[in-house]
Amino acid sequence: MTPAQRGGAVDAFARRHRFRALEALPWLLAIAAYFAFPDYLALGAQIVAMVLFGLSADLVLGYAGIVTLGHAAFFGMGAYTAGYLAAHGVGSPLVGLVAASAMGAAIGALSGVIILRTQGLSILMLTLVVCVMLQEAANKMTSITGGADGLQGMQVGSVLGLFSFDIYGHTAYWYCLCVLAAGWLIARALVHAPFGRSLTGIRENVTRMHAIGSPVFLRLLTIYTISAAMAGAAGALIAETTGLVALNVLSVDLSGTILVMIILGGVGRLYGAFIGVPLYMIAQDRFSEIDPVYWYFWIGLLLVLVVVFARGGVLGLAEALIRRSTRRR
């Protein structure tokens, strides 16, 4: 490496946290979608909320390398917290949102303290078990959760007392988009900070991170808790904008589906969720109108193909194409 090249590399490293023009693209598209598809805002709000959920899963999976099959635990607890508050006289969406994040963080920290000490199959199993345990608890505690019938009687108030939710989803869409923007700024700051770099280090070589004195367990616990809080917030968004909470918010299905969505976009890239989640949910919406039964077949096939042929997802493919075209030049 010549000094000039080295200088360039250092420069690139020092600038990597700065905002690039391309990063405005998802937001411009989201705003454009509001005007272009006014009939689909309810679906749009759900997509935006799920992007936040995907972003939280990407922090744990893509950056810290924790393979979790139970991320719906935090999402679902957040949804139930917000739903329960709304059904018991606390209608303010923001209060519900904060409470749901706190609940997510609490569950994340509590379970994280226990399960993050393990690795490999054990951690996969333990995340899964936490999720099914909470679902079974929700299923059986019918006086609080409504059990299999779902939570009854949610009364969601207006955002800040100014914007009440309408059936077309105007408020829901903007509300979700603002919360997502906040979550995105936090996640972005985290992954570009030294903290985020150390997570990547843990993912790539945990032994070496121990050797250089990095507090591995504490780092993992921190990101797990933050991610759980974010997932809880996403759950609250879904609960408040749809007015429904049922047992499926805590299901292993959902934990798997959110992984699928971010894999389609590309993990560990921060924007995987922004591509994968809308892609999946719009395709699901279209396909299930044609034949709801066989939707699972196509998504399964797509998943197998992605793993076999395109491990980086859509963003990985894009990167490979860009690299190839620049090399040719």
Partner 1 sequence: MTASATLSAFVSIAFHGTAFAMVLYLVSVGLSVTMGLMGFVNLAHGVFAAAGGYFMTTLMTRYGVPFPLALAGGTIAVAVLAVPLERFLYRPLYGADELDQVLMTMGLVFMSVAVGKFFWGPLAQPFQPPSFLSGQIDLGFRTFPTYRSFLIVSGAVLVTLLWLGLERTRFGARIRAAVDNRRMAQSVGINTSALFTMAFALGSGLAALGGGIGAEILAIDPGYALEHLVYFLIVVAVGGLGTIRGPFVAAMLLGISDTGFKYLLPEFGAFFIYALTMVVLLWKPRGLFGQA
What is the contact surface with partner 1 in residues (CB under 8 A)? Answer: 61, 67, 69, 114-115, 118-122, 124-126, 128-130, 132-133, 136-137, 139-140, 252-253, 256, 259-260, 263, 267, 293-297, 299-304, 306-308, 311
**Structure-token pair, residue 305:** 């193909």
Percentages helix, strand, coil for the chain, rounded to the nearest 5? 80, 0, 20
Closest distance of CB 257 from partner 1, Å: 9
> By C-beta, is 101 or 251 nearer to partner 1?
251
Strands of the chain (E only): list them. none
> By C-beta, is 11 or 204 nearer to partner 1?
204
Closest distance of CB 295 from partner 1, Å: 8
Closest distance of CB 65 from partner 1, Å: 8
Closest distance of CB 133 from partner 1, Å: 4
CA dihedral sign, ordered 269, 273, 274, 277: positive
**Structure-token pair, residue 231:** 């997932």
**One-letter amino acid of 139:** N
d(CA 150, CA 136): 13
Closest distance of CB 253 from partner 1, Å: 7
Q: Which of 304, 251, 258, 255 is nearest to 136 (CA)?
A: 251
> By C-beta, is 242 or 251 nearer to partner 1?
251
Asked if 274 contacts 261 with a C-beta cutoff of 8 angstroms, the reply is no
Closest distance of CB 137 from partner 1, Å: 6
> By C-beta, is 235 or 312 nearer to partner 1?
312
> By C-beta, is 118 or 164 nearer to partner 1?
118
> By C-beta, is 37 or 297 nearer to partner 1?
297
Asked if 265 contacts 271 with a C-beta cutoff of 8 angstroms, the reply is yes
Q: Where do runs of H (alpha helix) occur along 37-71?
A: 41-58
